C-alpha cells in the first residue's frame, strides 16, 4: 500500500479492480481546510484520462509494473508477435494494447509494461519518434510554398501521414508515434 505522499508520474494504481497510470498530480494545501491531491489518471485498458481528487494521506493500492524491451517480429491472426532480446521469449500482444501500432514495422523495438506478479502485458509503447520511408505521395507543385500546406503521404507501414509539399516518394521522414504527425525529413 502507498499513500498520496508517494504519488509520482507513471505510477500504476489499482482502483476498484481497474489499473490506472498517474499522468499528472498536484498536492494542494488550501488556506482553509485539509490538504488534498488532484490527479489525472489514464486507464490502462481503454486509454481514457479521468480526473480524481484524493484526501491527503489516503492509502491506495500500488501495482508493481516492470518495463521490458521487446522486438517486433510479425503480425498474424493472434495479434502482434514480439521477442525479448535477451531471453528470446516470444509473446503475442493484441493491437489495441499497442500505442501507435500503425507505425510499427518489423525489427522495431518497443517497451512493454508488464504486471510484475501476474506476468500479463498491460500496454506496449513505441519510441516517441520513428523513421519511415514514404511509399506514395502526390508530387508537389514547384513554387507552391507560400503557405504551410500539408499533403497526405503513405509510409512503408501503410499508415497515412500529413507531410509538407516538398516531400517526395522514397524519402525518409521522422514521425511522432503519439499523434501521427510529421516531425522532419531525414537527410542521409
Confidence at residue 121, expressed as pLDDT on a 0 to 100 scale: 85
Q: Are residues 47 and 74 in the same domain?
A: no
For 104, residues 6+ apart whose C-beta sits below 8 A from its C-beta are 72, 80, 98, 110, 126, 157
Q: What is the CATH number of the domain that holds 44?
A: 2.30.30.30
Q: What is the CATH number of the domain that holds 172?
A: 2.40.50.140
Q: Are residues 100 and 114 in the same domain?
A: yes
Q: Are residues 35 and 55 in the same domain?
A: yes
For the segment 46-102, what is each residue's pLDDT rounded down to a tens digit?
778 999 999 998 999 999 988 899 999 999 988 899 999 999 999 998 888 888 889
Strands 2-3 and 172-176: unpaired
Q: Are residues 30 and 43 in the same domain?
A: yes
Q: Are residues 145 and 166 in the same domain?
A: yes
The torsion angle over the Cα atoms of residues 163, 166, 169 and 172, rounded to 10 degrees, is -70
Q: Are residues 106 and 92 in the same domain?
A: yes
Point out the domain boundary residue: 125, 143, 171: 125
Point out the domain boundary residue: 12, 38, 63: 63
Q: Are residues 10 and 59 in the same domain?
A: yes
For the segment 99-130, what is each residue's pLDDT rounded down to a tens digit?
888 999 999 999 998 888 888 888 888 999 99
CB 92 within 8 A of CB 77: no
Read off the pLDDT of each residue in 18-38 and give the average, rounded to a whole number: 92
Strands 160-164 and 90-93: unpaired
Q: Are residues 118 and 142 in the same domain?
A: no
Confidence at residue 145, expressed as pLDDT on a 0 to 100 scale: 61
Pairwise CA distance, residues 159 & 153, whole Å: 8
Q: Are residues 8 and 49 in the same domain?
A: yes
Strands 121-125 and 98-99: parallel
Number of domains in the chain: 3
Q: Are residues 56 and 75 in the same domain?
A: no
Domain that holds residue 170: 129-185
Q: Are residues 55 and 76 in the same domain?
A: no
Q: Are residues 7 and 46 in the same domain?
A: yes
Question: What pTM was estimated for this model as a whole?
Answer: 0.77
Amino acid at each position: 500500500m502507498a499513500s498520496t505522499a508517494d504519488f509520482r508520474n507513471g505510477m500504476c494504481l489499482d482502483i476498484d479492480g481497474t489499473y490506472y497510470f498517474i499522468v499528472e498530480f498536484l498536492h494542494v494545501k488550501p488556506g482553509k481546510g485539509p490538504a488534498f491531491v488532484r490527479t489525472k489518471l489514464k486507464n490502462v485498458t481503454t486509454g481514457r484520462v479521468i480526473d480524481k481528487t484524493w484526501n491527503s494521506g489516503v492509502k491506495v493500492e500500488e501495482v508493481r509494473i516492470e518495463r521490458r524491451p521487446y522486438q517486433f517480429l510479425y503480425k498474424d491472426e493472434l495479434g502482434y508477435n514480439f521477442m525479448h532480446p535477451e531471453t528470446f521469449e516470444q509473446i503475442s500482444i493484441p493491437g489495441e494494447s499497442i500505442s501507435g501500432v500503425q507505425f510499427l514495422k518489423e525489427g522495431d523495438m518497443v517497451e512493454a509494461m508488464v504486471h510484475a506478479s501476474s506476468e500479463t502485458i498491460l500496454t506496449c509503447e513505441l519510441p516517441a519518434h520513428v523513421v519511415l520511408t514514404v511509399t506514395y505521395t502526390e508530387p508537389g507543385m514547384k513554387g507552391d510554398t507560400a503557405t504551410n500546406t500539408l499533403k497526405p503521404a503513405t509510409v512503408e507501414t501503410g499508415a497515412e501521414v500529413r507531410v509538407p509539399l516538398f516531400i517526395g516518394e522514397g524519402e525518409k521522414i521522422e514521425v511522432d508515434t503519439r499523434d501521427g504527425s510529421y516531425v522532419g525529413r531525414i537527410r542521409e
